[in-house]
Amino acid sequence: MEYGLKPLGREKLWLLALLMPTLIGLLFGALGSVIATVVLSFAKWDLLTPPTWAGTINYVSLVTDQKVLLSLTNTLKFTALYVPGVVVISLLVAVLMNRKIRGVSLFRTAYFLPAVTSAVATALVWNMIYGKDTGLLNFILERLGIPAVCWLCTDTAMYSVVAVNIWGAIGEGMIIFLAGLTAIPREYYDAADIDGANGVQQFFRLTVPLITPSIFFQGLMSTINAFQAFDYIYMLTRRGQGDSSIPVVVFSIYRNGWYFFNYGGASAQAIMLTVVVAVFMALAFWLERRYVVYE
């Protein structure tokens, strides 16, 4: 997609100036994170003694270690549940809120509240809500005659944690979509009214195509967030000081790097994660080229 201004003459310097901070940051980021991680993934490092070369042994264990495969499956499952949930719900909320209704800033605050807190703080509350015998949710369910569920037991933990993560992310998505919705000029809707289109038609024919940039952004960011989800999983599913009942890749990276003196293995897992997400990213960009509408 070849769009854009061509910088004229001295403006080329301006281009450089505007991009300079990001270029420096990329250097930092590339050196500090990506390259270091790649190099370390071929090493054996316990953080305390100097790293030693280990060849491809970390990558081999990615395929042979059951735990790693489990963490990857969990991560993919999490993503599949989380991304559609967040995008659809926050879009719906944003659309509903974009109508000129009274008290909209109060609603905005209410929906943004979960996104504003730290997982450490709210996870405590969710533990109290999800408790099997003493939890608020089961308390309400039993009042309604529905049998209690063990929300954080291995079988249901994934769904319960995805729900909490979605709850915490709706606010962000809502804001992104609201920003995108406000960019659609009023005149378009007025013109559609004149043409006789009703609300639903307007939504699907007008709104959705015009916010595809936001959908693209939110979809991609949610996917990346899903792959890196850690806080709520750490707080809600950890058994004592040990493993999580639904370990995901980031959790495994955390334990390997910080508890098992296996920083090399953790780096290899991080690279594996990056590759998988990069595939999703490529998919997203392909979808962008086909479906996203820019004016």
Task: Write out the binding residues for other proteins, residues 107-126 only, by CB under 8 A.
Answer: 107-122, 124-126
For other proteins, the closer CB: 11 or 84: 11
> Is residue 30 at the binding interface for other proteins, with CB under 8 A as the rule?
yes
> Is residue 129 at the binding interface for other proteins, with CB under 8 A as the rule?
yes
Which of 60, 128, 191, 283 contacts other proteins by CB under 8 A?
128
* Cβ 77 to other proteins shortest distance, Å: 18
| Cβ-proximal residues to 79 (8 Å cutoff; 6+ apart), any chain | 223, 226, 227
Task: Write out the binding residues for other proteins, residues 69-108 only, by CB under 8 A.
Answer: 93, 96-97, 99, 101, 105, 107-108
Question: Site for other proteins (CB under 8 A): how many residues?
Answer: 122
The answer to whether 220 touches 79, Cβ cutoff 8 Å, is no
* Cβ 235 to other proteins shortest distance, Å: 11
* Cβ 251 to other proteins shortest distance, Å: 9
Inter-helix orientation angle 263-291/212-227, to 10°: 170
Which of 52, 56, 182, 201 contacts other proteins by CB under 8 A?
182
| Cβ-proximal residues to 179 (8 Å cutoff; 6+ apart), any chain | 214
How far apart CA 38 and CA 144 sit, in angstroms, is 54
- Residue of 49, 83, 116 whose CA lies nearest to 280: 83
Task: Write out the binding residues for other proteins, residues 201-230 only, by CB under 8 A.
Answer: 210, 213-214, 216-217, 220-221, 224, 227-228, 230
List residues bridging with 52 in a β-sheet: 44
> Is residue 36 at the binding interface for other proteins, with CB under 8 A as the rule?
yes
How far apart CA 1 and CA 42 sit, in angstroms, is 38
Which of 44, 162, 172, 272 contacts other proteins by CB under 8 A?
172
Write down the residue that tokens 């967030």 correspond to: 225
Write down the residue that tokens 């990069």 correspond to: 278
